[in-house]
Structure 1
Amino acid sequence: MTDLRFQTLTAEWAPECRRLELSVFEHANPDELIAEDDFRAYARVFPEGFFLCLDGERLVGQAGGIFLNFDFAHPQHTIVEITGENQCGNHDPDGEWYYGTDIAVSPDYRRQGIGRRFYELRKDLAKKHNRRGIIAGGHMPDFVNHKANMSAAEYVDRVASGELYDATLSFQLENGFAIRGVLENYIEDEATDGWSALIVWDNPEHST
């Protein structure tokens, strides 16, 4: 990763961010993905929470999020509901949690440590601002190979136990996240039938 650099989002990268978003999430409804104007909104509202990975002047990865409060007693939500207008309108500067709204790495640059570095940056941000931790709707791309034989809840349980491997969800577990359940109709995605895992990382340095 010596030639790669990381920075926070600026508005001029919005077109490239949209292109990367569409190329990575090819099975998702484009209308539910982050739009070009949404990326510009992120750059205004909370650029500190949105990270880019560049190879020279080429965008090869991005990871965004917002601060918010979360009700674990009523955890069900969709990505559209929880993020608000421009997918960042519900950002609360005083929110207790960093909610990961987006992470995308170009297929040509996977397995180079970019995703792991994004998670490190997110954790550092949560620690810097003394947030309780990180929450996200964890994508589970390999569920498509098992959904005919088991429910989403059974699938994530078997991934969590190590019985099954999921390219994204297993990686998140390796990075210290825990599964707190499944989210129905989280995002319109034909491969996963809209299912995602509710994943949480608790900040060990958080103080009240």
Structure 2
Amino acid sequence: MSLTSLFTFALIMSAGIVTPGPTVLLALNNAARFGIRRTTWGMLGAAAADVLLVSLVGLGLGVLLATSETLFVTLKWVGAAWLAYMGLRMLLSSDASLPGKAETTAPTRRALFLKSFFVAMSNPKYYIFMTALLPQFVTTSQPALPQYASLAAVIVSIDVAVMLGYATLGKKSVHLWKASGIRWMNRVSGSFLLVIAGSVALYRKSIT
């Protein structure tokens, strides 16, 4: 894999990740409620999901999804249900986690890690995108493992940078909006997650 190919891949992934997805919205919401330092554990969960997904693609996930309609439909509905659940929880959450009370209401680091991990793994549209994109940048005449490792490093770096940027935005927004910031952050993030859940439910596999 050449540096030019890796740079091209980074540009494509940047364009996709900058658009707020489930993990980015979660980082935004978590930072507003619990602070950036604790939100870092959620970012690590999303990064772990990135590495796992790249590994699965390298092991042939694309072929499996293309040949098994049952697996694809199962992943689609489980993912849509999980994202909808997360969105509804944000919409219906109270304002208990206001600035000054974060230490008594923040979830554990493990909970934040797992929550972001499962949110990242719940979007089958991302699976299809990755299984279609990644193999195009892997040179078959060279060892596959180092190439997939390089692609994973690029994805994780961009993903973490974008999540950190949105998390900073969420934290600063709360400082500006004070108490109402949490309420509006929950409403906006929850609404977007419900929209994403709906798009996942309506999504149809297009690769063969």
| TM-score tier (shorter) | under 0.3
Which structure features the higher share of strand residues? 1
Q: Which has the larger radius of gyration?
A: 2
TM-score normalised by L of structure 1:
0.28
Which structure features the higher share of helix residues? 2
